Amino acid sequence: MTDTASITTAVENAATTALAHIPIADSLVVGVASDAALPQPFLGVAVTARFSGTHNGEVLVAVEQAVADALRNSPLGALDVTAALGPALSAAAGTVGTVITGPGQALPPGPALDALLAKPHAAIVALQHGGVTRAVVGLSMNLDAPSDEPVSAASYPTTGELAQSNPVRAFVPAPIPRNGLDMLRDVAMDVTAQIGSTRMTVSELLTLSDGAVIELDRAAGAPADLLVNGHLIARGEIVVIDENFGLRITEIIADGDSVSPPA
């Protein structure tokens, strides 16, 4: 098998595996891998990461502008696109027997795709729905010199460097109305149950010792708060499940108003 055939097969496998981790609710179809640029410029956001292990290389996942906007304007607060696409990057890189060791970096998709395709042994594949490209997966591998050496974040080109050498081309697709939360259904977020809080001075904190009691701003028996990425979304009562604490939801917070769930 030639190097071209190897990278083509690899990126198609990577795209197929990454599908389940891309935060787009609609079913996507994996296109044919190519080492050429997309027929039309792609507007949205791309996240790239270097990997090492069986091979050294770079993986890229780009999503349409609607997803980028949904992440930025989520009702749960602005979400980190690199974290949201991290599972897709890991899944894609894992198909070539590697582990991502470099951090993800968000870049404009046009320059990011051009930079990836400028590398040897690189290809991209479009993920489409209804004939419209909604996401792109790309992969480049050093097939000549496999290495286990981790990749330093300092080796990444900066957004400014890429934008200066490859200006983003204007392309505005027709708006696609979709519910923001539905688009983000597979994005992992931090969920915290909070029974109360208080404020303390530094000197008070320094006097804490084993057995000290801190009074919280919550009455005994009051419901605990359920926070998602720091935003209050529900309240409930603390329960114990198999020796672990849990939260039984008693109230859903929607758009700043309290809405009790149906019995």
* Residues 168 and 253 both lie in one domain: no
Q: Are residues 14 and 108 in the same domain?
A: yes
Spatial strand order in the sheet of 244-254: 191-194, 224-228, 231-241, 244-254, 257-259
Q: Which of 137, 167, 183 is the last residue of a domain?
A: 183
- Check whether residue 195 and residue 91 sit in a common domain: no
Residues 197 and 246 in one domain: yes
Write down the pLDDT at residue 179.
44
One domain, residues 161 and 197: no
Give the CATH number of the domain where residue 177 resides: 3.40.1550.10
Same domain? 41 vs 170: yes
Domain around 125: 3-183
pLDDT given for residue 55 in this prediction: 78
pLDDT of residue 228: 80
Predicted local confidence at residue 154, as pLDDT: 38
Q: Which pLDDT score, from 0 to 100, does residue 254 have?
A: 67
pLDDT score recorded for residue 184: 59
Q: Within this chain, do residues 105 and 167 fall inside the same structural domain, yes or no?
A: yes
CATH code of the domain containing 201: 2.30.330.10
Of 140, 166, 183, the one marking the end of a domain is 183
| CA 226 to each of CA 140, 193, 236: distance values in angstroms, whole numbers, following the listed order | 42, 5, 7
The residue to which tokens 């900066």 are assigned = 158
- pLDDT value of residue 144: 65
* Structural domain ending residue among the three candidates 129, 155, 183: 183
Distance between CA atoms of residues 17 and 214, nearest Å: 49
N residues, the chain: 263
The number of folded domains in the chain is 2
Return the pLDDT at 79. 78
Please tell me whether residues 240 and 173 are part of one structural domain.
Answer: no
What are the C-alpha distances in Å from 143 to residues 87, 137, 166, 192? 24, 19, 26, 44
Q: Is the dihedral of CA 44, 183, 17, 156 positive or negative?
A: positive
Residue 126's pLDDT is 95
Q: Are residues 153 and 24 in the same domain?
A: yes
| Prediction pTM value | 0.64
96 with 138, same domain?
A: yes
Tens of pLDDT along the chain (263 residues) come to: 446 678 889 999 999 999 988 888 888 999 999 999 998 889 999 999 998 887 789 999 999 998 888 888 877 777 788 888 888 998 899 888 866 667 889 999 999 999 999 998 899 999 999 999 999 999 998 876 544 444 443 343 433 443 343 333 333 333 333 444 555 555 667 788 888 889 989 998 899 999 999 988 888 888 999 888 777 888 999 888 888 889 889 988 865 444 444 33
